[in-house]
Amino acid sequence: MNLLPEKTVERLSQYRRMLLKINTKDMHSIFSHEIAGMLHITPVQVRRDLMLIGNSGSQRKGYEIDKLIQLIGNLIDSKHGQKVALVGLGNLGRAVLRYLNKKNSNLKIVAAFDNNSEKTNKEVSGVMCYHVDELAKIIRQEKISIGILSVPAEYAIPVSKALLKSGVKGILNFTTAPLNLPSNVFLEEYDMITSLEKVAYFSKKR
């Protein structure tokens, strides 16, 4: 299968989380309009996404929930899981650590890094926090492939360079500093201020 569009992968992740929630109920199948209604998108978009991954469903029964969950998992997840490093153990970093390790068993934060000696050489939510000077050694040792940046903006560029040199292939950037990375590294940037200002603009218009 060809590489899926980024927005499709985002929606597939949302579909799976929603399906996992309702899979505990007495529901075995679901229609595209039901998925669309829960996620505030169109049924056409849902059908397009699911056709891209080879599931056209049934006009009479819709989509089998168990099979759809499994199909999405086979596409998104790595067979043996992927290890994640978190750099920056402030309030945001701690929140990300607690949340992610509870929500996704395929993606696991296995090491955290900080430059504050009061935070290092301690476990936080079951994850050891190392001094940032040990970043390269630990990432190679643990075979970590993904890095999360929750450091102050001025440290984002040097830390991202250190992650790349250590072999990381994907970075989630929670800082406000834009990063310019090589094409062989996938970058996802989440700017909380921009998102909040977007909400503010559209709420003002209403």
Domain ranges of the chain: 6-74, 82-193
Per-residue pLDDT of 112-128, as tens digits, reads 999 999 999 999 999 99
CATH of domain 82-193: 3.40.50.720
Q: Which run of H or E residues covers position 48?
A: helix 43-52
Q: What is the CA radius of gyration of the chain?
A: 19
Q: What is the pTM of this model?
A: 0.87
Query: According to the model, what pLDDT value does residue 144 have?
Result: 97
- Residues in the chain, total: 206
Q: What whole-number distance in Å separates Cα of residue 15 and Cα of residue 67?
A: 13
Instruction: Answer yes or no: are the C-beta atoms of 27 and 62 closer than 8 Å.
Output: no
pLDDT at 25: 66
Mean pLDDT within 184-189? 94
CATH number, domain 6-74? 1.10.10.10
Question: Residue 203: which residues within 8 A CB-CB, separation 6 or more?
Answer: none
Average pLDDT over residues 57-64: 90
Comparing C-alpha atoms, which of 155, 156, 113 is closest to residue 131? 113
205 pLDDT above the threshold of 80: no
Give CA–CA dist 124/192, Å, rounded.
24
Taking residues 3-20, what's their average pLDDT? 94
